């Protein structure tokens, strides 16, 4: 019973295609995130949703669109994939906003996206 | 602009010895710091955290030290075990904006038997 699960684990696709990565958490958290780990291994936040509302939207191309159908799910859709989109994408959740001031992130196992 | 730095990309330590992983930050407004551990093909997992009102936090073999004046924190692992071999990420967050954790690039720790 994985706390934060994301699928697929590996995604290999051609430039120009559209793809989605799904994420689900069963921790009852209100806040979910997408992080990108680039080639230099930095983990950088892309989006944060709290109770299905977009809270953080870092400088990410419009081709990336998160969708949160409910607070347990945050999917990432990417249009017109480019070579530079190749990275590992991590979904995460936290209980921040549920009365806690200091909280930690719970991560999924990552999706390795390779754009050819 | 790299706000959280881990200047050692890798570190090798003998089993049983102390491992010291370092982290520096530039934003003096950061008030909460975390260490994460990551094995290959897995997501980062939380290890230990420290609030800026403290200078030390211990949890078993893991101790985090915070030096606010130097904007430096360190993670000590004593004694180091082969299972500790992983990439360790330092992260920091701002007050009232804790939903955005800023991560360092990580340090790969190898504990040699």
- Distance from the Cα of A37 to chain B's closest Cα (Å) equals 9
Which residues of chain A have a CB within 8 Å of the CB of B51? 102
For residue range A31-74, list pLDDT tens digits in order.
Answer: 899 999 988 788 998 988 888 888 777 778 899 999 999 989 99
The answer to whether residue A99 scores a pLDDT higher than 60 is no
* Beta strand segments in chain B, E: 4-5, 10-14, 19-25, 32-38, 45-51, 56-59, 62-67, 72-77, 86-93, 102-103, 107-112
Confidence of residue B98 (pLDDT cuts 50, 70, 90): low
What is the model's pLDDT at position A102? 63
How many domains is chain A built from? 1
Q: What is the pLDDT of residue A96?
A: 66
CATH at A71: 2.60.40.10
Domain ranges of chain B: 4-112
DSSP designation for B71:
T
Q: Which of B2, B34, B100 sits opposite A45 (nearest CB)?
A: B100
Burial class (CB in 10 A: 0-12, 13-18, 19+), B113: exposed
Task: Could you please state the CATH topology (level 3) that the domain comprising B4-112 is classified under.
Answer: Immunoglobulin-like (2.60.40)
Whether A40 sits inside 8 A of B105 (CB atoms) is yes
Is B42 in Cβ contact with A105 (below 8 Å)?
A: no
Q: Residue A16 is part of which domain span?
A: 4-115
């Amino acid at each position: 019973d994985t706390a934060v699960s994301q699928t697929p684990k590996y995604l290999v696709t051609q430039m120009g295609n559209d793809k989605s990565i799904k994420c689900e958490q069963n921790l009852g958290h209100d806040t979910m995130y997408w992080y990108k780990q680039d080639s230099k291994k930095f983990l950088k936040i892309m989006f944060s949703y709290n109770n299905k509302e977009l809270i953080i939207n870092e400088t990410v191309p419009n081709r990336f669109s998160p969708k949160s159908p409910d607070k347990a799910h945050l999917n990432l859709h990417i249009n017109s994939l480019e070579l530079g989109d190749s990275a590992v994408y991590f979904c995460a959740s936290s209980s921040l906003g549920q009365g806690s001031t200091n909280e930690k992130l719970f991560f999924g196992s990552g999706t390795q996206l390779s754009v050819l | 602009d790299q706000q959280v730095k881990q200047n050692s990309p890798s570190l090798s330590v003998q089993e049983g010895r102390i491992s010291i992983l370092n982290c520096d930050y530039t934003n003096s407004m950061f008030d909460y710091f975390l260490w994460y551990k990551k094995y290959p093909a897995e997501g980062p997992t939380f290890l230990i955290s420290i609030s800026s009102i403290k200078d030390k936090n211990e949890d078993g073999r893991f101790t985090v030290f915070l030096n606010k004046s130097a904007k430096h924190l360190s993670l000590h692992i004593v004694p180091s075990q082969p299972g500790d071999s992983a990439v360790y990420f330092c992260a920091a967050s701002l007050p009232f904006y804790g939903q955005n954790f800023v991560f360092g690039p990580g340090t790969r720790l190898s504990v040699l038997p």
